[in-house]
Amino acid sequence: MERQRFSRSYILTKKELGKSKYGSVYITVRKEDNRSVAVKKVKSNQKLNVENEINFLSLVNDINGCIKMLDYYKIGNKFWIVMEYPPESITLKDFLSQNKCLSEYRVANIFRHIVITVLEMKHAGVAHRSLRCENILIDKNDRIKIVDFSIAAEFDKADEKLGYVDWELNITIDPVTTWSLGIILGALLIGKDPYDFIKNYHPRAIKHEIFKKLMDSKISGLSQDLLRNCLDLDSLKRPSASEILQRHWLDVSYHPTEDRYESRDCWCCPSGF
């Protein structure tokens, strides 16, 4: 019955968009408008994870910066979650490999939308707990969508043991989220996901490696200050998402109009090239 119900509305393709330990995602065509959507197939032995994801996707469905769930099915030994597929979108990780040395305006604009989305999720009572470059989609207009809610939790009941490194286990969710935002900001400023080159996952080593990459980059003091605050080793000193949004550096008017889409010198591009 469920397969027939699915087949009445969608045409499943064999094109795989991605894979995780919880399931695989495929391109699917919606019959009513011939539009591409995504289907995530999760084995039934991951029932708790998929039910968790369905629950939290429904809670964030009205948030612009979160991926939208369209439907879900139980077919055979798998759950199928149908979600929107933002056209011409790739993961932030892939985006950075193609677009190194973004202007500070673009970095600030992308980061601001990520922080706004995180804040909206908090107001909806949702902690994502796996914020990273692979779980953010971005399109050609720099619009973002946060994906993969398989280990999300209610914000006031969030158990920090999932989605974060061991040293953060006893810290409340707000500072842990800010640390994750700091890693994403570092990735945007560096032009590369820090976890691609960091081998020591101790917080002091992570912070050191990120700022080491930034030494040869022409970035403002304000952006460095925000990054330094988000990655403060004292979790109680890290700003909340609301406080991050109040930073002058995230104000569009702060960035000179003529420099907004100009690439800048950074560690991967020698000055003068």
Give the span between the Cα atoms of 27 and 182, in whole angstroms: 32
124 and 243 in a common domain: yes
SS (H, E, C) the chain: CHHHHHHHHEEEEEEEEEEECCEEEEEEEECCCCEEEEEEEEEHHHHHHHHHHHHHHHHCCCCCCECCEEEEEEECCEEEEEEECCCCCEEHHHHHHHCCCCCHHHHHHHHHHHHHHHHHHHHCCEECCCCCHHHEEECCCCCEEECCCCCCEEHHHCCCCCCCCHHHCCCCHHHHHHHHHHHHHHHHHHCCCHHHCCCCCCHHHHHHHHHHHHCCCCCCHHHHHHHHHHCCCCHHHCCCHHHHHCCHHHCHHHCCHHHCCCCCCECCECCCC
**Size of the chain, expressed as the number of residues it contains:** 273
Residue 261 pLDDT grade (very low, low, confident, very high; cuts 50, 70, 90):
low
| pTM as predicted | 0.88
Of residues 261, 267, 271, the one with CA closest to residue 186: 267
Residue 207 token pair: 């912070």
pLDDT tens-digit readout, 222-247: 999 999 999 999 999 999 999 999 99
According to the model, what pLDDT value does residue 132 have?
95
Label residue 238 left, alpha or beta by phi (over 0 means left) and psi (-120 to 50 means alpha). beta
- Look at residue 165 and tell me if it is in a domain: yes
18, 49, 84 - which closes a domain? 84
Q: What is the mean pLDDT of residues 115-143?
A: 95
- Look at residue 226 and tell me if it is in a domain: yes
205 and 236 in a common domain: yes
CATH code for position 119: 1.10.510.10
The CB density around residue 237, as the number of other CB atoms within 10 Å, is 10
Question: Looking at per-residue confidence, does 158 or 100 come out higher?
Answer: 100
131 and 187 in a common domain: yes
98 and 122 in a common domain: yes
- Look at residue 218 and tell me if it is in a domain: yes
Of residues 203, 83, 88, 183, the one with CA closest to residue 133: 183
- Look at residue 171 and tell me if it is in a domain: yes
Is pLDDT above 70 for 165?
A: no
118 and 69 in a common domain: no
Q: Which domain holds residue 22?
A: 7-84
CATH code for position 11: 3.30.200.20
Domain count, the chain: 2
Q: CB of 89 within 8 A of CB of 136?
A: no
Question: Looking at per-residue confidence, does 163 or 269 come out higher?
Answer: 269
147 and 63 in a common domain: no
